[in-house]
Every structure is written in structure tokens, then in C-alpha cells.
Structure 1
Amino acid sequence: MHIQFPPGFRFGMSTSAYQIEGTNGLVPSIWDTFAARPGTIRHGENAGVAIDHVNRYAEDVRHIADAGTHDYRFSFSWPRVLSGGIGFYDRLVDALLEAGVRPVPTLYHWDLPQNLEDAGGWLNRDTAHRLADCAGTLVQRLGDRVRDWITMNEMNVHTLYGYALTDHAPARGLGLEALPAAHHQLLAHGLAVQVLRTHGAATVGVANQHFPVVPASEDPADLMAAGLFEELTNWTFSDPILRGAYPSELITAGIGTSGAQLDRDLELIRARLDFYGLNYYEPTMIEAPKAGKDYSGVLEVDIPDGMPFSPVPVKSDERTDFGWAIVPSGLTEILVTLKDRYPNLPPVVITENGASFHDAPPGPDGRVHDERRISYLDAHLRAVAEAITAGVRVDGYYVWSALDNFEWAAGYDERFGLIYVDKSSLERTRKDSWYWYRDLIAAQR
């Protein structure tokens, strides 16, 4: 039986610009530079064409709208805006509105222009102001039609994978010295909220990734390691927004901004939000590092030796084909944790949730049968319903992703989409999960 959600609950699909649009002809981003280095992307693939959404957007909008989707969350390509291509977003927004789908764009989803990285990237405070400038350009151009905005996407992943480690662009490998990049992204969020409000945005939110962090044992060393990892990956990116402070003196000391300047920054960062976006995929289990133990292959990225925490595999009966543990109860848990931690928590929208399975191409019946994805989505939507029953206000749920796409360093092998995209022809085919999602939306009263 399909789950029933409260009246007004909104179902959506999500994507990001770099993963679907194609980047050929644009000023380069940090991901173009990263992908050009040998050995960084699986099979040496790149996003030059991606899935050619920039030319096939009308077809893609039809697929999204035909499912009865209320909202479509996409992101702006900062390099496209700088390259004079903002007209593409005019056309995309108009097509969505004509199809009856609400556009919910994200200002920044990791594709920093390379020239800004050359000037220091997110370690440079000025980058936050440059994003605010970009926000002003976009809201002035599109604000007559776009009412709902998201500022930043997964600042924790961008900071950890790209600045602390070397697995994503820009591959700085700074360890804990990456914390200034976290602060400057949060500042960019605060500045962007100010700009969007000034130009009349109806609703403004942010999309943060959160997940339960579980200590491997009750050993005090494991508890301390898990607590630090949780601070760094969860609360460093939500406490400033929802509490107006960093979670500990350790984090505050590491961000590189202090005194009156920090107070002014936090006033901007803690600006009122209309909704809080939550991206959820899997929990993490952490222990204190054990000498001589091999921790490689536990997470999508490996935590290097010398860090004060190490990941161990989460116990799970099932995993995605990306190797991620399938733990729907973790979504309920983190929603309830957010509610308990933040008395002023705005209404939550699940801005990303989904799974990669290595779906086979369309069979003789012309269909893509992805029963495991249907089971995954069903279980996670039930987890959302449980959180609502527990008192968490959740106003929407967006599947990641509308379409198979370029999955960052994993290239094109990992398929998250409700719509299958052939790697060679780029032909689109609706998967069984697309039909399931359509029927779920239609069944809501």
C-alpha cells in the first residue's frame, strides 16, 4: 500500500547542473580541472556532454512533469552564468512553469569557477561575496518567476571531500585546516539569503547532508572519535545556521575568523529560513583509529592516516550497488535528532534521497526493471512518515535523481535516476521506479 502524507506535502525530483547539463564551451570549473587529471574519474570520464540536458531539457521536463511531480530541484551552473548562458535558465524555468512544475533552484552545487579557485577558492573570504553577486544576477533575472530558492548544497561533503581530502575537486588535502572553507561557504549562504530576500524571494532554504554517526563501541575513545566526526560533518554546518554558533571551541578556533568579524558573520549565517533541506543516504560508524588496521574502502572516500577518527562498516542487511548501507531508520533518526537539537527548526524538505543500482538497459518489453530502487524509496518514504508521526514537520520529499547522470568521481557507472539514460545514444527511458513514483503521487489525497 502507498503511504499517505499530510495535505500539501510536495513530491519532487532533484538534479545538479554539472552532473547533467554538459560543460563544453563554458569557462572551466574546478571539476573540469579535476576531471582532466589522470586517475581522478572512474574510466577517465568527464562531464563535457554529461547527459546533454542543456539541449534536451524540454524532453526532460516532460518526463519530470508527467510523473505528477510538484517540484523540480536543479542547480545553476556558475560557469554557465559567467559564460553568458543565463538564458538557458530562462527557458528551463518557463518550460517547468508551463508544465505545472515549481522550479526550486540551488545557487551552488560544487562547480566553482576555476579562476576563483586560483584566487584561493573557498579558503578565500572573497569567494562568498562573489557567490552573493551571482545570486543577485540570478534573482534579478528570474525572480519574477522563481519564488523558491536554495542557497548551498552539502557544504560538509564539499569541504570534506574536496578541501580536507583529495577525492573531489579541488583536491586540496588540507585535513582539519580545511575548516576556513566551511566558514566561507556558510558566509556565502548568509550573504545569499540577504540578497534573495532583498529581491523578494518568497521562500529561502539550504540543503545540508545529515546522517546519524554511531560509535563502534562504548569505549570512551570510540565515543570521543565519533563525537568529533559528528561535530565536523553534521553540526559544523547546521549549528551556525540554526543556533548562531559553532558546536565547539575546537571548530571555532579552526575556522580562521574570530572576534567582532565572526559575530557579524554569524548574524548573517543565522538569518531566518523558510525551510531546511535535508539530504540523506546512509549512517556512518566511527571508532578511534587502531594501529595497523586497514580502513580503506569503508566509505566512498578513505579517511587518511593521522586523523583522530576512522570509519568502520555500518551493519546492514542490504547495500546499494555503490556500496552504501541501506538503513531507512537512519532517516527517521536524523530527522528526530534535528527536531530535538533545534527548537526553532524550520519545516524540513528532504532535498535528496535515492540509491544507485546498476540498472540493466531496457529489455525486450522496452522497460527498465529496478525493483530494488522501488523498495528503497518505499522504505525511506515510510521512514519520513514515521518522523512526521514523531512530531517532525516535513513538507516535501525529492528523489535523487530525476535522471541517470555524471556521478562525480564515480563517472557514469552509478545510476541514481528514475529515468534511464543510455551512455552512448543519451536516449531516455522511464524506469519502473518512475511509474511507481507517479502512482504514489497520484494516490495522495
Structure 2
Amino acid sequence: MLQRNDFPEDFVFGVSTAAYQIEGQAFGGSGRTHWDDFAETPGNVVRAENGSIACDHYNRWAEDLDLIRDGGYGAYRFSASWARVLPEGRGTLNPEGLDFYDRLVDGMLERGIKPMLTLYHWELPSPLADLGGWRNRDVASWFADYSVLLMDRLGDRIWKTATINELWCVSFLSHFFGEHAPGLRDIRATARSVHHVLLAHGMATEALRAAGHGDIGAVCNFSYAEPADDSPEAAEAAATFDAHYNQLFLSAFFRKKYPDRILSALERHLPDRWQDDFDVIGTPVDWLGVNYYTREILAPAPGPWPANKSVPGPLPKTQMGWEIYPEGLHHFLHLANDYAGGLPLYVTENGMANDDTVVNGAVDDSARIDYLAAHFAAAKRAMDEGVPLEGYFVWSLMDNFEWALGYEKRFGLVHVDFDTLVRTPKASYHALKTALSR
């Protein structure tokens, strides 16, 4: 594995988490989210699990920050729960929620950890979901209001701020494929959620700047698209996937337009006067985050757009069934740089799920060590080729609620026993601690 000294002195290594996955939604006066509703619906989440307790980070945050500090990480990418701050999504504040994030940020600073805040990581307050959620254009202004409110409390201590995590997941995964809350399978809802999540990002960025907050970025997820064979049909299937998964949001942010392949499928479902919003959507950002895990092998499939399907590939796979393909990270760092025009880039998520167990007080996750070593090397190669990568955040600090897959899939550098909530650093945690030491 590459060592700390192989990277520039100011290069930042960190870890990432998300509020709903670790905090415990039942604590601290939080309101309901559409993930609580989704998890209560039979068949949506493995074993009908939910985030009510999760890792109990709400009560164990000091122990968790100690793990970050002791692991040698310089930064922590965390998210805030909108419903913890504003239980109804608007209106009355929850003082307990704001106090929690105050304590958390101060705790990072006391330990020498840079706070990187994500304002939205998928936990929409249920009262806003009742009003249409991401299908309702008003969600953009609601999100901007929440963003300014939270940053007016925390912004003087935040290192960098991301608006919305993985806009593709907020829109396509949740409204077209139905795998995440709110669990819809509706192309019209998808088109509107795509546009409104972009508009929310832009409006929040403008509002935060007007309120005096800076260092604002966007975070996109990417998955390498490869045709299943040499046929024109497979090439078209891969190009369609690449358009909606990898190119759509970059094009909107940095070119103020939707790719032609997207318009041909979604234009008739977009809201009225959608073209007028691109100056707001394209509000300049200060940095761009790249989330990357795997590749997809695409084949044509019968039926309406996108008329493709993923097929199994030949490479070794993680516990998620995702192929291990570090070359994809190298590719997307270059692609992101091509769009972003030299802005600072960060790998804001990268990691793997593994079937980790504690044996005699230790967890041997050598596969994760190998995975991260290969991806660090791919990132370093892109840097050597001129990509302005300034930091790398491993997903995730600890095992957590993996959304619709419950607590079965383990992405953490730290093992969590979900019965006792005991944390056990894994071999990967110790290996990275050694690699990151100066």
C-alpha cells in the first residue's frame, strides 16, 4: 500500500459516514424521515431493519471521533439529518438536534479533525415527502432555507460543505428503480426529481454564498460502464447507462444543459420552463467530490428506455456483488477534471463491503486492504498525470445501516456488533493507521 509520504504534504485523508446510517433516528427529538416510512413498509429492507438505533452515534460520538483521530485521519466527512434539525422540514427548530451537531463539530476540532459537512444524505423529512418530496419544485427552496439555517449555526467551524450526496441516487435509484426511499418506479417522478435535486443544489449554493458561507462543493457517484460484447447494441446500452449515471449531473453543473441522450428520454416529463433554471443549477462550486466503487457490464434488454441490463462480470467481487475495478476510479478522476476545469477534486467515498467477523478480538479484512491499496494507486496515477486531487475519504468509518440491505453488508474500517454496539477496529483500520503515519 502507498504510504502517506507518497502524497503531497497537504493531501487530506479522511473517512465518511452518513447521518441516518449511524446516528440513531430515535434519539434527540428528530422528526420522521421518508426512510423511516420506507423501512416500515414490508419487503423494502432486509429483515425489516431500520435506522432507529443504527450505531448509536448520537450517544457514542466521542468514542467514534477518537477512532478517527487515533487512525491518523485528518478529516471527517459526515452528514446532518434535515429532520433532526427541522422535524417538520420547515418551521420550528429542534434545539437538541442543533446542539448535537455543535458538539460533534467542536469534538472534531478538539481532536484536530477537519469537518466536511454534507447537508443532505437522503433522509428527507416525512412532512415534505407528504407534499411530493423531490417531485415538488418547492423542495428546492425548502432545502436552501434548511442549508442556511444549519450553516449559520455551524459554518464558522466547517472546513468544506457539500450540498447533496449522490444526486443520481436521490433521483434515479429512488424514483425510477425504486430501491431507495420513497421507492417509486415512475419515469415522470424521476425526471422531476432529477431537475429539482439539481435546482436545490443550485439554490442552496447561491443562498449559502449570500449568507457568507464558502468552500461549497457537489458530490456525484460514478460507475464505469462497459459493453457486454462488441455488438452495436451493447455499445448503445453502455452509452445510455453512462449518460444517466455518469454524465447527466456533471453536464448540468458545468455545462448548464442535459445530455442529448437524457433529453430524448426525459424531456417530455420535465417540469415547465426547466430550461430557465440552468443558471441557478450551474452556480459555480469550489470543489467536486467523486464517489466510486465499481463498474457495470451492460447488455441490451427489451422494453422502454433505458433498454439495458447489467450482467455479471469476470472480476473478483465484494460482498455487494460489485466488481473490483480500480481503473474506473482513474477514469472518473480524469472525467471529473475534464468537466470541472481544474477545480480541486476529492474522492469523497471509496471502499468495499466484506463479510467481516470478529475472531479472538480481531477482524481480518485483508481483502479490504488490497482493495484500498489498488484504488489509492489508481488515484495517485491520476494525480501524477495532472489531476488536481486534494483528498481521499474512505467509506466508511464503521459498519452501519446499509439502506435497503439492512445491517448485513459491512463497509466499515471498524466492526460494529449490532447487538452490543461494541466497536472493534479491523485489520484495515490498523493497516491504514500505519500507512498514514508520518
TM-score (norm 2): 0.93
- The answer on whether the counterparts of 1:242 and 1:345 sit within 8 Å (CA) in structure 2 is no
Report the Cα offset of residue 430 of structure 1.
1.1
* Structure 2 match to 1:301: none
Alpha-carbon separation, structure 2, partners of 1:206 and 1:96? 22
Q: What SS does the corresponding residue of 1:412 show, helix, strand or coil?
A: coil
- TM alignment of 1:345-360, pairs within 5 A: 345-360=342-357
The one-letter amino acid paired with 1:309 is: N
Report the Cα offset of residue 20 of structure 1.
0.2
Alpha-carbon separation, structure 1, partners of 2:269 and 2:203? 17
Query: Could you say if the C-alpha distance between residues 351 and 49 of structure 1 is closer, same or farther in structure 2, counting changes exceeding 3 Å?
Result: same
Answering whether residue 426 of structure 2 is matched by residue 431 of structure 1, we say yes
Answering whether residue 126 of structure 2 is matched by residue 114 of structure 1, we say yes
Answering whether residue 2 of structure 2 is matched by residue 2 of structure 1, we say yes
The unaligned stretches of length 5 or more in structure 2 are 88-93
- The answer on whether the counterparts of 2:23 and 2:55 sit within 8 Å (CA) in structure 1 is yes
Alpha-carbon separation, structure 1, partners of 2:10 and 2:232? 45
Report the Cα offset of residue 43 of structure 1.
1.3
Alpha-carbon separation, structure 2, partners of 1:323 and 1:147? 35
Alpha-carbon separation, structure 2, partners of 1:236 and 1:440? 36
The one-letter amino acid paired with 1:262 is: Q
- The answer on whether the counterparts of 2:265 and 2:305 sit within 8 Å (CA) in structure 1 is no
CA deviation map 1:154-205 (0-9, x unaligned): 1102212210022211011113651110110011110111122122223111
* Structure 1 match to 2:90: none
Answering whether residue 304 of structure 2 is matched by residue 289 of structure 1, we say no
- The answer on whether the counterparts of 1:167 and 1:409 sit within 8 Å (CA) in structure 2 is yes
Q: What SS does the corresponding residue of 1:281 show, helix, strand or coil?
A: strand
Report the Cα offset of residue 220 of structure 1.
2.0
- TM alignment of 1:62-211, pairs within 5 A: 62-83=66-87, 84=94, 85-175=97-187, 177-211=189-223
* Structure 2 match to 1:334: 332
- The answer on whether the counterparts of 1:183 and 1:255 sit within 8 Å (CA) in structure 2 is no
Does 105-114 or 168-177 show the bigger shift?
168-177
Report the Cα offset of residue 339 of structure 1.
2.9
The one-letter amino acid paired with 1:117 is: A
The unaligned stretches of length 5 or more in structure 1 are 291-303
* Structure 2 match to 1:31: 35
Answering whether residue 363 of structure 2 is matched by residue 368 of structure 1, we say yes
- The answer on whether the counterparts of 2:396 and 2:412 sit within 8 Å (CA) in structure 1 is yes
Q: What SS does the corresponding residue of 1:282 show, helix, strand or coil?
A: strand
- The answer on whether the counterparts of 1:338 and 1:345 sit within 8 Å (CA) in structure 2 is no
The one-letter amino acid paired with 2:133 is: G
- The answer on whether the counterparts of 1:147 and 1:201 sit within 8 Å (CA) in structure 2 is no
Alpha-carbon separation, structure 2, partners of 1:258 and 1:227? 27
Query: Could you say if the C-alpha distance between residues 77 and 142 of structure 1 is closer, same or farther in structure 2, counting changes exceeding 3 Å?
Result: same
1:237 counterpart (249, 256, 260): 249
Q: What SS does the corresponding residue of 1:416 show, helix, strand or coil?
A: coil
- The answer on whether the counterparts of 1:10 and 1:70 sit within 8 Å (CA) in structure 2 is yes
- The answer on whether the counterparts of 1:276 and 1:349 sit within 8 Å (CA) in structure 2 is yes
1:412 counterpart (382, 407, 414): 407
Q: What SS does the corresponding residue of 2:259 show, helix, strand or coil?
A: coil
- The answer on whether the counterparts of 1:402 and 1:417 sit within 8 Å (CA) in structure 2 is yes
Alpha-carbon separation, structure 1, partners of 2:206 and 2:419? 43
Report the Cα offset of residue 77 of structure 1.
0.4
The one-letter amino acid paired with 2:323 is: A
Alpha-carbon separation, structure 1, partners of 2:311 and 2:64? 39
1:325 counterpart (308, 323, 326): 323
Q: What SS does the corresponding residue of 2:174 show, helix, strand or coil?
A: helix
The one-letter amino acid paired with 1:421 is: V
Alpha-carbon separation, structure 2, partners of 1:216 and 1:337? 22
Alpha-carbon separation, structure 1, partners of 2:389 and 2:373? 16
1:377 counterpart (372, 381, 395): 372
- The answer on whether the counterparts of 1:179 and 1:251 sit within 8 Å (CA) in structure 2 is no
- The answer on whether the counterparts of 1:46 and 1:411 sit within 8 Å (CA) in structure 2 is yes
Alpha-carbon separation, structure 1, partners of 2:253 and 2:182? 25
Does 90-99 or 344-353 show the bigger shift?
344-353
- The answer on whether the counterparts of 2:30 and 2:85 sit within 8 Å (CA) in structure 1 is no
Once superposed, which parts of structure 1, at least 4 consecutive aligned residues long, lie more than 6 Å away? none
Alpha-carbon separation, structure 1, partners of 2:271 and 2:314? 39
Alpha-carbon separation, structure 1, partners of 2:193 and 2:63? 38
Does 19-28 or 218-227 show the bigger shift?
218-227
Alpha-carbon separation, structure 1, partners of 2:346 and 2:421? 31
* Structure 1 match to 2:267: 253
TM-score (norm 1): 0.92
